[in-house]
Structure 1
Amino acid sequence: MVQYLSITPRRACDDAPADEDGETRSLRVGLVAYNWEADTSLALWNLINYARRDDLVAEHVRFDQHCAATPKTAAAEKDELFRVLDWVHEHGFDVVGFSCYIWNIKFVNRLAQAIKELWPHITVVYGGQQIRGFYVPQVFERERCVDICVVNEAEITFQRLLRHLVVGSPALSRIPGLAYWAAVDDADTLYRFDGTGVLPSGFAYHETGNAELVDNLDAIPSPYLADARLPVGGAFLYEASRGCPYSCSFCIWGESKGVREYPMDRVREELTTILRHQPSHIMFCDGTFNMRKARAAEILGILNDHLRDGRVRPFSLLLELKLELIDDALAAILDELVRLNPLVTVEFGMQSATQEAAELMRRPFKEDKYRAAWARLTPKLQSSAVIDCIYGLPGDGVAQFKTTVDFAYSLAPHRMQCFRLSILPGSEFERQADAHDIKFAREPDHMVHQTAWLSLREMAWLETFGFAVADLYHFHGTTIRCLLGLPGAAVMRFSDLVTEFVDWAGRDRVMATSYNGHAPDGRWRAINLSTLFENFTFDELLPRISASDPELLDKLAELIRYETRMGRIAIEGLPPAPRSNGGPVLHAELMRSRYDLPSFIIANRGRTEVDIADLRTADTHIALTVKAGHQDVRVPVSYRISERTADLLDRLRGQPAAPAVSRRAIDRLVDVGLLA
């Protein structure tokens, strides 16, 4: 938690911002952010730093922050609720503000309601990307726990709101970018909700027009170069620009005033500061990071420089890029990045490969151009790439989404992700919902139930299909390539195989495999289909396509066994090893196989069909370990090891004391993560 201190806060029992004689009073403000993967909140830092540019705010407002991961279980929600309520009580806040996103708004609403029930005098303020479009009036009409919403980009609006709360001016109605419940005949008479959930007569919803946005982003004091204490080993969100040049109908990035960039000198200094703190995770949250290819290459070059000379250790890094904008120079920079840092994920939002959907979502798609752009990526870069697909888009039915999935499969990326369309508040699809007969949830996650192209039943089937596509491709991709390479499957497409699996297993069995936990980079959406898939392969698919050769079946069984163990480690990690006598501790599982599985898998990356007969018979020793990232993210890793090393690891596992072995050998095994 980062705290900014000013002067003594005003008394919590006071309702008015100033004394009766008009003298200025102090204000104590608590800001809360629940991120998905970050330890810190860039949004809150920017709000505070910009607000404090105003001398009156700097002198009379004290800020405190609470930033945490969004609780993901009922027990975690309960613990977090009491933790924050105790924090609010301890600090005696006059104002509590929340940074609201689609992934945290349900819990934020619950927390805000509790605050209003306990302390009705506290002014509750909402801001963030969720506070747009249809959801803003809904906050007041349904939740009845929020006093003021800051709509769209918030720095200027929030600064002016704080001035109003301290000295009464400017008037609320003269601060663009606000929404609140006000007297029908006086837009400056704010109604503060009292925790009873009652909407009083004589008051109504009011908006003050479009927010004023910051033209020069350098006017926002840097949160990384100021007095904030950055966490060592923490996770960071970083933006090098705001806005997006595109106006995709499902997105809100293009709704702001074009693209604004932070000066490159500032970006370099800020990233250098972050890297000096040995981050565990960095996510660039630019709308289109590689909109300007040369600038993107320069920014990524900063990371490469630090990784190349060892100033920073490899860290989890997420980049969301537009594939068609990658040229050869940027591809070379990216290739070096993934070679220096194996924890890099490059994500491409293809969304749909069909023309009607592409046209309706205002995201042009040309298959030949997309394939040509993919071909510019090196094999190493392709093997680190994730392709996103959306089902439920206007223009796409079941057949069209299968076309999208098959196109993505034909590129052989590292992973495929399938998401059901959410109608984001403020997006073009929100405004076009009636035109496309889109029925969607008004409550978060705002997921689509049906469209003019998809019935409710078809949407339910596609959700099962999408789960299966992502999980099976990620964790049984090599087996699937081998199955599609069999003579009896010559006319079968990837989507056909997954369709058969889903129809054989049934929706209940697929959806019931949900893992009771959260592993963001483990099982996709934390599901585990390995046992079902193995049964389907041997009991249903192989007999139907007349694949009965004993050696072939044995090789497939061993391959599935290997992939299943890797998937289990991604979810559960490794079992704890007993530590004794201060010696090295095993941090791996051992697998002995009749086949050289690691070499076979590596040799066939980037292919869509593989001949299982090429799997070479060779007694092979494999060590399976896991690299831990931020928030228990687990990345499974396997090594082909010698028989001597396997025996050493076996003895370490079975004996209380380490066997006699050279320090050099121990250090090498520690370096690769097999010993701790």
Structure 2
Amino acid sequence: MEKKPLTCLLVAINAKYIHSNLAVYSLRACAERELCRRGAAADVRVELAEYTINHRAAEILDDIYMKKADILCFSCYIWNIEYVKTLVKNLKRLCPQTPIWLGGPEVSFDCEARLSEIPEADGILYGEGERSFPALLLGFRAAAEESRSAVPFRPAGYPDGCAYRREDGGVEITPPAPFADMAELPFVYENMEEFQNRILYYETSRGCPFSCSYCLSSVDKTLRFRPMELVKRELSFFLEQQVPQVKLVDRTFNCKKSHAMEIWTFLRDHDNGVTNFHFEIAADVLDEEELSLLETMRPGLIRLEIGVQSTNERTLETIRRKTDPEKLRRVVLRLEKKRNVCCHLDLIAGLPYEDYESFGRSFDDVYDLRPNELQLGFLKVLKGSPMYDEAGQYHILYQAEAPFEVLETPWLSHEDVIRLKQVEDMVEIYYNSRQFLHSMEALLPCFGRAFLMYEALGREYTARGMGKKKHVRAALYQFLLDFAAEHTTLNPDRFRQILTLDYYLREHAKRRPEFALPDEEYRDGIRERLFAEFPGESAGSLMRTKHVEVFLPPFTEEEEYWLFDYEERDPLTGNAQVKCLTRRKPVGKRGNDYDKYEK
């Protein structure tokens, strides 16, 4: 009778469906290659199962159980560790003889304590797994051959880079596994059917030269780079496949200038007009040569994530973040002025010596740069990071369970944290969505500071119970109109038209919003100007891809007809191109060039 191969199931539970888990694909590829080298490819089969935290734990449990794997391995992160704990507990009850192993950053530090917290787990692969995971599978294979059992409970030997339970119940930790050779890491995206409609993650380097105390990357200062000939070949594959977005997971992509310059130059010279690439960088170390190169990119080709975290000098010094805030400011302003690179700026609330007012100033400093996105995050005290060891010193109180987010500090009360959560929600809805660009600019002078504006919005949004249910898009605009009426002296008719501008910039709505001014008496003029602009086109075709809106004083100086063309959109904001049919010239190419109407 043909011997049944051992089956190992690698389980990934992602935050969203659109995400993919690079780690499990890399582990599978490394294991298959090593098993083949050892002549064991027919003896061990590695399968993948990807889920999201939006699935019910019971559904995931049933699906894993029905796969009848001989070995289960879970990829653990802060967003899924509570799911994993529940799954492991119940799977061990159902399948007591099935070995269950864990890996990933959420279990790679203080492994003995982790195995104590999750007694159903048999072991942990800590750190990089590209060497230890194939070795573990070979150990299970050897045990299966020795015992003539299809389901060995323990491997014949334990590789470097693991913590495991001894038969007496104690925990043994082997020495760290050697770092993976970046030249030997397999490229996991050959079969693109597995990644349809998903963001692809890719790495060209590992390690980070910086020492930020809140970050796990500060632990590994050994910088390693993938050979450039491999990188270019793999980037070419993404371009040929016209992948929508590739997100590089290099911790600080531009820590080596020559490496960054060569890749950015390659992407510019081989741009397919579709794919965009996301990089996490340190903006204050960009020099003139790098900035000049970035300024030559197609709008939308490059997306830069820039960690500001705080502009409080004492806070930055305490968390050992070496940043030149003034140079960072100049760099971002220059990139924003060119309007071809998407800039995503991060702030972290809850850091030492940053109180509510200080954070508000950091927020204003970053908001004044008008990045494409502003992420207001909260400190997470991660096991293995220096901040984990220093939290007691700074009396930082954080959640007992993942994601270990800050609850309060000596400088920031829990009530302050709640208020900042309200600000965060408003930033996500009214800034990062890019659907309210002109409305927010019109409101800002009424409050003097951006932080005060979003704080007031958050209070009102909460008071009205808006966060307790999901709203149609028009309701979010109506809330702004009501908010402006109650908290500002803005001209209501003028602000209605600014809201209407934002509303139609983003999409061709099927229904006219209630807040828009009536347009019945202008409909003949709208049709006349639309058909004059596009003679020969059918009414149906025009109505699907175009919209004409009338704007009146006091928003404009005189009656004007503006054409919104949804076939021509700004690559950074997604807004439609707008042209004034009355004055026969473009109003703004980027959907954010309406200064004369905002003020």
Shift of 1:232: 6.0
- Preserved contact between residue 230 and residue 277 of structure 1 (Cα < 8 Å): no
One-letter code aligned to 1:178: C
One-letter code aligned to 2:159: I
- Cα deviation, 1:168-222, whole Å, max 9, x if unaligned, reads 5998886332223x3xxxx4x2xxxxxxxxxxxx624x25155223253112233
- Cα deviation, 1:240-284, whole Å, max 9, x if unaligned, reads 001111121111112125111100001011111222222122110
Distance 1:59 1:635, change over 3 A: farther
Q: For residue 336 of structure 1, give the secondary structure of its aligned residue in structure 2.
A: coil
* 1:178 aligned partner: 162
One-letter code aligned to 1:252: L
The answer to whether the aligner puts 1:82 opposite 2:59 as a matched pair is: yes
One-letter code aligned to 1:314: V
Distance 1:303 1:125, change over 3 A: same
Separation in 1, partners of 2:206, 2:374: 27
- Cα deviation, 1:36-80, whole Å, max 9, x if unaligned, reads 465653212322333332534545321112235x243xxx436xx
* 1:117 aligned partner: 93
Separation in 2, partners of 1:101, 1:626: 40
One-letter code aligned to 1:93: A
The answer to whether the aligner puts 1:261 opposite 2:210 as a matched pair is: no
The answer to whether the aligner puts 1:637 opposite 2:589 as a matched pair is: no
TM-score, scaled to structure 1: 0.71
One-letter code aligned to 2:181: N
* 1:577 aligned partner: none
Equivalent residue runs for 1:319-468 within 5 Å? 319-339=279-299, 342=300, 344-377=302-335, 379-381=337-339, 384-468=342-426
One-letter code aligned to 1:562: L
- Preserved contact between residue 116 and residue 122 of structure 1 (Cα < 8 Å): yes
* 1:562 aligned partner: 501
Equivalent residue runs for 1:168-567 within 5 Å? 168=143, 175-180=159-164, 182=165, 187=166, 189=167, 203-204=169-170, 206-214=171-179, 216-224=181-189, 231=195, 234-307=198-271, 312-339=272-299, 342=300, 344-377=302-335, 379-381=337-339, 384-474=342-432, 475-485=435-445, 492-503=448-459, 505=460, 507-509=462-464, 512=467, 515=470, 530-542=477-489, 547=490, 552-564=491-503
* 1:159 aligned partner: 134
Separation in 2, partners of 1:315, 1:403: 36
Separation in 2, partners of 1:131, 1:626: 47
Q: For residue 48 of structure 1, give the secondary structure of its aligned residue in structure 2.
A: helix
- Preserved contact between residue 498 and residue 555 of structure 2 (Cα < 8 Å): no
Partner of residue 21 from structure 2, selected from 34, 41, 51 = 41
- Preserved contact between residue 514 and residue 528 of structure 1 (Cα < 8 Å): no
- Preserved contact between residue 327 and residue 376 of structure 1 (Cα < 8 Å): no
Shift of 1:228: 8.2
One-letter code aligned to 1:412: R
- Preserved contact between residue 550 and residue 559 of structure 2 (Cα < 8 Å): no
* 2:523 aligned partner: none
Distance 1:234 1:414, change over 3 A: closer
- Cα deviation, 1:455-480, whole Å, max 9, x if unaligned, reads 22221112112322443333434333
* 1:601 aligned partner: none
Distance 1:329 1:366, change over 3 A: closer
Distance 1:495 1:221, change over 3 A: closer
Q: For residue 488 of structure 2, give the secondary structure of its aligned residue in structure 1.
A: helix
Separation in 2, partners of 1:616, 1:319: 45
Shift of 1:387: 1.0
* 2:535 aligned partner: none
- Preserved contact between residue 625 and residue 636 of structure 1 (Cα < 8 Å): no
Separation in 2, partners of 1:9, 1:359: 61
Shift of 1:434: 0.7
The answer to whether the aligner puts 1:622 opposite 2:564 as a matched pair is: yes
Separation in 2, partners of 1:178, 1:587: 59
Separation in 1, partners of 2:61, 2:541: 41
- Preserved contact between residue 315 and residue 351 of structure 2 (Cα < 8 Å): yes
* 1:652 aligned partner: none
Shift of 1:94: 0.9
Distance 1:616 1:128, change over 3 A: farther
One-letter code aligned to 1:60: D
The answer to whether the aligner puts 1:30 opposite 2:14 as a matched pair is: no
For the aligned residues, what is the CA RMSD? 3.8
Separation in 2, partners of 1:157, 1:465: 44
- Preserved contact between residue 354 and residue 400 of structure 1 (Cα < 8 Å): yes
One-letter code aligned to 1:175: P
- Preserved contact between residue 284 and residue 324 of structure 2 (Cα < 8 Å): no
Give aligned-pair identity as a percent. Answer: 24
- Preserved contact between residue 237 and residue 283 of structure 1 (Cα < 8 Å): yes
Separation in 1, partners of 2:568, 2:378: 30
Shift of 1:294: 2.5
Q: For residue 28 of structure 1, give the secondary structure of its aligned residue in structure 2.
A: strand
One-letter code aligned to 2:342: S
* 1:657 aligned partner: none
* 1:599 aligned partner: none
One-letter code aligned to 1:115: L
- Cα deviation, 1:287-326, whole Å, max 9, x if unaligned, reads 101112231122123332332xxxx451353222211122
One-letter code aligned to 2:496: A
Equivalent residue runs for 1:7-18 within 5 Å? 10=4
Shift of 1:376: 4.1
One-letter code aligned to 1:32: V
Separation in 1, partners of 2:397, 2:318: 17
Equivalent residue runs for 1:531-610 within 5 Å? 531-542=478-489, 547=490, 552-564=491-503, 590=547, 592-594=549-551
TM-score, scaled to structure 2: 0.79
- Preserved contact between residue 100 and residue 126 of structure 1 (Cα < 8 Å): yes
Shift of 1:450: 0.9
Gapped regions of structure 1 (runs ≥ 5): 1-6, 11-25, 190-201, 518-522, 575-582, 597-611, 645-676
Shift of 1:484: 3.7
Q: For residue 436 of structure 2, give the secondary structure of its aligned residue in structure 1.
A: helix
Shift of 1:638: 1.7
Separation in 1, partners of 2:544, 2:62: 40
Q: For residue 390 of structure 1, give the secondary structure of its aligned residue in structure 2.
A: strand
Partner of residue 131 from structure 1, selected from 64, 86, 107 = 107
- Preserved contact between residue 240 and residue 267 of structure 1 (Cα < 8 Å): yes
- Preserved contact between residue 130 and residue 180 of structure 2 (Cα < 8 Å): no
* 2:527 aligned partner: none
* 1:65 aligned partner: 48
Separation in 1, partners of 2:105, 2:225: 19
- Preserved contact between residue 232 and residue 277 of structure 1 (Cα < 8 Å): no
- Preserved contact between residue 31 and residue 97 of structure 1 (Cα < 8 Å): yes
Q: For residue 622 of structure 1, give the secondary structure of its aligned residue in structure 2.
A: strand
